[in-house]
Structure 1
Amino acid sequence: MSAERSIELARVFKAIGEPVRLRLLSLIASHAGGEACVCDLTGAFELSGPTISHHLKVLREAGIIEGERRGTWIYYRVRPETLSAVSSVLTPAEVLA
């Protein structure tokens, strides 16, 4: 793995290393249709809307999720290529063979 790639992946691990963000990622990934409106996510937490938005921003900036504005709401979906890259780092070589 190159030094640049390790920096990119470390940012991903750091983003999902926070419990609220890990839960958000799980909720988005498991939501019907593979995407979730921010309005669907806020009820799962005892946190303010701005706090949830901050955590979603961290996940987005790390390249883990992407969002699309539809009217007044933003719908988030997981970027599978990022999760695949994380998975490949965690999978032992003998499993890949």
Structure 2
Amino acid sequence: MSKQGLEILGRDTNRGACCQRLAAAPLDDDQAAELAKVFKALGDPVRLRLLSMIASRDGGEVCVCELTPAFDLSQPTISHHLKLLRQAGLIDCERRGTWVYYWALPDAPARLASFLSVPRRAGVTA
């Protein structure tokens, strides 16, 4: 497995807590820079589609050989996009012979959702 993933959302390793919420406290410079890398990875349509294809796959993993034909891009370009998703801590992979298999990291979307959730204020309706 890859060890190159970012620590998403400034996880507090001392307390084992997932992450702080957006409304809990302002981010410091390091947390903001780290989180920006995750959102930058998600900000590209190709990477967003790749993540969606990987996460929605029955069985939980997909071979790179199945991802590349879905795009009008070269294999090295697809590999670059996958590398950025891995570095952002959204997916992981494993080489098996000639091919590399990818899967979505299950806690990454939950951490992002937790960070972005803002508690409802009393008297405010959606």
Which TM class, normalised by the smaller chain length? Answer: 0.7 to 0.9
Please name the residue that 2:78 is paired with. Answer: 52
1:90 to 116, 119, 123: 116
- Whole-Å Cα distance in 1 between the matches of residues 58 and 38 of structure 2? 24
**SS of residue paired to 2:89:** coil
- Whole-Å Cα distance in 2 between the matches of residues 64 and 6 of structure 1? 17
Question: Could you list the runs of 5+ residues in structure 1 that have no partner in the other structure?
Answer: none
Structure 1 or 2, whichever has the larger Rg, is 2
Relative to structure 1, the CA distance from residue 5 to residue 85 in structure 2 (aligned partners, 3 Å threshold; closer, same or farther) is farther
> How many Å apart are 1:91 and its aligned residue?
2.0
What root-mean-square deviation, in Å, do the aligned CA atoms of Structure 1 and Structure 2 show? Answer: 1.3
Q: Give 1:43's aligned amino acid.
A: P
Which of the pair is proportionally richer in strand? 1
Relative to structure 1, the CA distance from residue 45 to residue 58 in structure 2 (aligned partners, 3 Å threshold; closer, same or farther) is same
Q: Given the two structures, how large is their TM-score scaled by the length of structure 1?
A: 0.88
Runs of 4+ in structure 1 off by over 6 angstroms are: none
Please name the residue that 2:22 is paired with. Answer: none
Q: Name the count of aligned residue pairs.
A: 94
